[in-house]
Amino acid sequence: MKRAHNFSAGPAALPTEVLEKVREELLDYKNTGTSIMEKSHRGKEYTEVDQQAKERLTRILGLGNDFHIMFLQGGATAQFMQVPLNFLEEHETADYINTGVWSQKAIKETKLFGNVHIPFSSEEEQFSRVPNDDELQLSDQPRYLHYTSNNTIYGTQFQQEPKSDGAPLVCDASSDFLSREIDVDRYGLIYAGAQKNLGPSGVTVVIVKKEFLESISKKNIPTFLDYRSHATRILNTPPTFAVYMVNLVLEWFEDKGGIPYFKKLNQEKSDLLYSTIDVDDFFRGTAQKDSRSKMNVTFRLPSEELEKKFLEEAANNDLVALKGHRSVGGIRASIYNACRLESVKALADFMEYFRAKNG
């Protein structure tokens, strides 16, 4: 069986151990004679999967009893709309830090429901950085402060939570979820599409503080889009297979050592690639150094012709999915939790070879 070095930005690499377990259980889940995909979402087996996944997330993040965890559908894109639909009245203002395409999409949706104030934007700098706290010009009383913790397209990442002057944080954490510690007490809501760091596409984890949820005062929210409908029960048929895989990834994550283990590993992987890039100006990182992402390493070569050659030769060496986002071009290595250190070492070795041959 051939397994390539997969640097896909999402859907992204999954742990081999998890895929092997899925293969083992696919036809016969725990000697029941049926697949987990064929079981009722209200039956004993799936209910146990759902509960285990929520318990593991609670334990990993140290959530205590202060949060609800939901497994929803529609990706982060649906959350761009669902957050303001629930939490923002027409006369209220929410602050949105603009650090890229995903922030822009969230801002566009939010303007349908209330006022948006942008305390910082790096658009004029081609979204090459995230702000320092002293650059944030917050509004007087924002309902919440929204930010995208990691920007897959531009290779930038917040190194810590931004200041919010007491307003609850709302975070699109899709592309760096569970890669480092977070200060959970500062959050009203966190959402993350699973297909980067947590599992396959098709399920979105939404974590909402109970106190924040109770602050919803709107009356006319459609049942399915009302977070309160999902907080304490399974409202409708969820993406059961995707949640099953999320549970297995969380089990693997804990067995490896949890956040401390992956924080150290992600630092090692990103340090290796950035040190390879910074040797000279043959490779040029696109993110400013103090904003560099540990999840998505983006860089350019001296010409588009060399970039095309780099991608072709990399693929011939089983280094796949390295093409930058279509909107910006270049090269992008996505090195989420499940991307092995061996894969990153193989990429760094290839980069050195390619530079020696073409520099």
User: Of these residues, 39, 95, 102, 323, which one is catalytic?
Assistant: 102
Residue 1, in any domain of the structure = no
Number of domain units in the chain:
2
Same domain, 57 and 168: yes
Q: Which of 211, 229, 255 is the last residue of a domain?
A: 255
Same domain, 159 and 264: no
**pLDDT surpassing 90 at residue 359:** no
pLDDT band at 31 (very low <50, low <70, confident <90, very high): very high
CATH number at residue 248: 3.40.640.10
User: Of these residues, 39, 54, 95, 196, which one is catalytic?
Assistant: 196
288-325 confidence digits (pLDDT tens): 999 999 999 999 999 999 999 999 999 999 999 999 99
Report how far apart, in Å, the C-alpha atoms of 179 and of each of 10, 54, 116, 187, 249 are. 15, 18, 29, 17, 13
Same domain, 94 and 179: yes
- Give the distance, in angstroms, between the CA of residue 317 and the centroid of all CA atoms in the same chain: 28
CB of 178 closer than 8 Å to CB of 158: no
The 3-state DSSP class for residue 208 equals strand
Instruction: Please tell me what DSSP assigns to residue 288.
Output: -
329-347 confidence digits (pLDDT tens): 999 999 999 999 999 999 9
Catalytic site includes residue 172: yes
Helical H runs in the chain?
Answer: 16-25, 44-61, 75-87, 101-110, 210-213, 227-230, 240-256, 258-277, 304-316, 341-358
Q: Provide the residue range defining the domain that includes 185.
A: 16-255
pLDDT, residue 16, reads 96
51-67 confidence digits (pLDDT tens): 999 999 999 999 989 99
Residue 184, in any domain of the structure = yes
Residue 84, in any domain of the structure = yes
CB of 131 closer than 8 Å to CB of 156: no
| 86-114: average pLDDT | 97
Same domain, 336 and 231: no
Same domain, 128 and 273: no
pLDDT, residue 335, reads 98
Residue 9, in any domain of the structure = no
Q: Which of 255, 287, 303 is the last residue of a domain?
A: 255
pLDDT band at 87 (very low <50, low <70, confident <90, very high): very high
User: Of these residues, 39, 50, 54, 172, which one is catalytic?
Assistant: 172
Same domain, 157 and 176: yes
Residue 5, in any domain of the structure = no
pLDDT, residue 2, reads 83
Same domain, 208 and 300: no
Query: What is the percent of the chain where pLDDT is above 90?
Result: 98
117-158 confidence digits (pLDDT tens): 999 999 999 999 999 999 999 999 999 999 999 999 999 999
Same domain, 216 and 298: no
pLDDT, residue 17, reads 96
Q: What angle do CA 241, 244, 248 make, to 5 degrees?
A: 140
pTM beyond 0.75: yes
Same domain, 30 and 86: yes
In angstroms, the first-to-last Cα distance of the chain is 35
**pLDDT surpassing 80 at residue 1:** no
Same domain, 35 and 136: yes
| 24-50: average pLDDT | 96
* Segment (H or E) for 169: strand 169-172
Same domain, 291 and 244: no
**pLDDT surpassing 80 at residue 243:** yes
Catalytic site includes residue 102: yes
Q: Which of 223, 255, 287 is the last residue of a domain?
A: 255
Mean predicted lDDT score pLDDT of the chain = 97
CATH number at residue 303: 3.90.1150.10
CB of 345 closer than 8 Å to CB of 319: no
Query: What is the percent of the chain where pLDDT is above 70?
Result: 100
pLDDT band at 8 (very low <50, low <70, confident <90, very high): very high
Same domain, 282 and 207: no
249-284 confidence digits (pLDDT tens): 999 999 999 999 999 999 999 999 999 999 999 999
